[in-house]
Every structure is written in C-alpha cells, then in structure tokens.
Amino acid sequence: MAEQPELSQADYRRRSRRSLLTGGAAAAAGLLGWRWVQTQPADNRIPGVLRNGHEFNENLWSALFRENHQAASFPRSDASILRVNGRIGIREEIDLANWQLDVIGPEGNNLGQHTLADIQALPFHDMTIEHKCIEGWSQVTTWGGARFSDFLGLYQDQLPDNISHVQLDTPDGDYYVSVDIATMRHNQTLLAYQMLDQPLDDAHGAPLRLATPIKYGIKQIKRIGRIQFLQTRGADYWGERGYDWYAGL
C-alpha cells in the first residue's frame, strides 16, 4: 500500500474546520428534527410520527412471528438470578398462603379461581432463556412453571373461538398488560412459579408471573392476580404511557 503523504498545517486546519462545520450541521439538523417531532399532534401520549414507528414495528414483528419458532435457549450454567427492575404492582406485602388467581371471560363473567397448587398440577416445564429489558440490558435465567397453553386448555370449552388477547393484572390492579393470544399460546410462554429451581421471591413476582423470551420484560408481569380472555386488545400499563404495545422480539 502506498504511503499517505503527511498533511501540512494548512491542510490540517482546513480539514478540521470542515469536520467542525459538518458535525455542527448534523447536530443542528438533529435538533431541528427532534423539535419538529415534538410539534407533531400527539397520538396516545406520544407524537404521531413516533406512534407510526411503533405501529410499523408491531406490524413487522407480528408478521414475522411463527408459533413454532423457538427463541434461543442457553446452558443452565449461564443462568443467574434476574436483576430486580420495577416494583409497580408488587410494592405491598402479600399473603401468599391466601393468594388466588381469578379467571374472567370476555364479557366480564367469572370463569374460575385457582390456587398455586392448581397451577403446579399442570405439566411442569422449565427453560433457560434470555430475559430482555426495553431499557437495553439482558440476562440469562432459568424459569420453571406451567405453559400458558396448558392453562388455556382448562377453559377452552368455555371460551368463544375469537379470543384474540389476554389481559393480566396484579392483585392490586396497579400493573396490567395485554398480550396477543399467539404469544400466550407459544410453548415458551410460562406461568412461572420458579426461578433457578427455587420458588419465586416477592421481588421477582411471587407466587406467579409471566415469563417468555418472545416479549420484552415490560410484558412479563409479576404477581399475577387476574387473567381475562378478550376479543379485543385490553388495557396495558406501558402501552398507555407511550411505549410500544406489541413489545415483541
């Protein structure tokens, strides 16, 4: 390779000025662009142009979703106790001995109630997967519990054919998520009551939480107290606050 000639002081100053001007122009364009975004009409708490981006992502990921596709699994030796992130809906103490899960139909009718023993009576499955947070961090851990698809089977005869979403709430109602039925039927979506072969502790959602590698952590609700089957999209805590509702991976 030919040797590059050394720059003279004059050439160096010209290039430095050019770089400074280019960088300044890019920064100004970015600032003006962001100000333009902020002036756009709001759509569900965020500028419409950002909402359009969320909807594009949702359409893309939902189109790519395949129920038989498996997210990556990892050796159990890679797993560790998941970092605690977020206590909305689990701040108050709970009497685990008297916890129960209420199941509601699409018309608001009560379909049943369950104790943890009922969930533990379903076939047990565990998985060592990567938990991903929408904040940008991820961690490998091992969940154990019942597949939601097996739980759904308990109510299949009581539900209409057009169930499209499942809403899950904490017992106090402070945190709630709405998840598409395809994700809930996926065999890597668990009603988890164990992490690393131990019962969940309060900070990780005892006695029962949602665990799946195909949604970001904002969908993986801790301390489930209520499940409702719906024929339309339900309420969603972070979706109502401007985040991507679908939150798919």
Q: How many domains does the chain have?
A: 2
The answer to whether position 102 is within a domain reads yes
The answer to whether position 3 is within a domain reads no
The answer to whether position 21 is within a domain reads yes
Tens digit of pLDDT for each residue in 117-164? 999 999 999 999 999 999 999 999 999 999 999 999 999 999 999 999
Tens digit of pLDDT for each residue in 7-66? 566 665 665 566 555 555 555 555 555 455 456 565 555 555 455 655 666 666 566 666
Peptide bond into 207 cis (omega under 30): yes
Closest among 156, 151, 99, 95 to 121, alpha carbons compared? 151
Q: What is the pTM of this model?
A: 0.78
pLDDT of residue 24: 59
Do 75 and 33 belong together in one domain? no
Whether the CB-CB separation of 125 and 144 falls below 8 Å is answered with yes
| Bridge partner list, 206 | none
The answer to whether position 63 is within a domain reads no
Dump the DSSP string for 52-102: HHHHHHHHHHHHH--TT-------GGG--PPPP---TT--S---GGG--EE
Tens digit of pLDDT for each residue in 224-239? 999 999 999 999 999 9
